[in-house]
Chains A and B, each alone.
Chain A
């Protein structure tokens, strides 16, 4: 295992164990800024970890970022590792980031679907869902981005356990989802929630389960426009942005529809790049540029959240 997070190879994909070891190294190297929380256990009893970046205080307003909820979207977990190191590296010399952390905490869940991720590394690289068993079906797993209590079971998800968009037997049936629901509910002071997927270069905001525009649509659209402009400024990667249902398709039981309905106004989903023809098999050489451009967009959202307390 690497001797430090400075020798960690950010331009390569890593196993679940290597990512968990990286997290422990980062915490050990930065005990005054980073801590590791265990927010639950998966179906296969793996721990679910969240990194907390905080300069102190209790229950401060916070920003949540998660990657890897769909396990085969490897560039997202790899970007999450890079974000973690970036926050540590820049928390003093980047005035914007420093001022965000002066007022807010950042929670980063790098491997949001550990069972699925381990499965992609051992049995099926194309696995997307969780690994929960479904009574009455030979098929396994639930789409963790259709399992939230927001339009759950509606159009835009499948009731077929063999489908890749199976919504599950009931809302929050998946421990990976329930763990976040409980964390967000108990914390009660999260002001921005960003869930990162790949691929197709999109920045999305609620809703996905209904055509009804969210009350804050105008503000979320403006933030998206600025965030996408910042992202594109680095390597020219073209993004589209808008609400889920108008930009891609109807999707029910989605993460950020639930978080928005909990009152977390700044709820966004990213679909990171494939600007070429690799899809989920994006070459490792593109991890760092993808993470770098995404970070610029994340900072726009975080700065806006800092400057618009509610």
Chain B
């Protein structure tokens, strides 16, 4: 089973075309294993991306180096998945 310990979901809201282009370029960096929950689609629209733990620092450094602000939408994906599983188990009980 795939686990998501340490994975975070970052929310990026491109403020200008340059930032939008930088974010779009991230989609081609396969080595980062990014999972775009909301793909880039235009200025002012949130881009939500799940980032595996090993890629977190490199990606954050890249965003900060390019002056692209982001927020952490989900601190630890696995924690939410575990909670969801627990709720399902409780309900089926």
Contact = CB atoms under 8 A, between A and B. Distances in A.
Interface of A: 9, 11-15, 18, 122-126, 162, 164, 199-200, 248-249, 277-281, 283-284
A271 to B, nearest CB: 9
Interface residues of B, number: 26
Given A126-B50, A277-B74, A278-B74, A13 B88 contact: yes
A249 B47 CA distance: 13
Interface string B59-93: 00000000000000110010011001001100110
A61 B53 CA distance: 51
A13 B84 CA distance: 8
Interface of B: 1-2, 4, 9, 11, 30, 35-42, 48, 50, 73-74, 77, 80-81, 84, 87-88, 91-92
Contacts of A200: 38
Contact of A124 (B1, B38, B87, B91): B1
Given A12-B91, A126-B2, A284-B87, 8 more contacts: A13-B87, A13-B88, A162-B30, A164-B36, A249-B40, A249-B42, A279-B73, A281-B84
B88 A14 contact: yes
Chain B CB within 10 A, most for which of A11, A123, A125: A125
B75 to A, nearest CB: 10
10 contacts: A11-B91, A12-B88, A13-B84, A15-B92, A126-B50, A164-B35, A199-B37, A279-B9, A284-B87, A284-B88
Contacts of B73: 277, 279
Given A126-B4, A249-B39, A284-B84, A18 B48 contact: no
Chain A interface, >50% SS class: loop
Which interface residue of B30, B37, B38, B80 has the most chain A CB atoms within 10 A? B37
A9 B87 CA distance: 11
Nearest to B11: A277
Closest 6 CB pairs of A and B: A12-B91, A124-B2, A281-B80, A277-B73, A249-B41, A248-B41
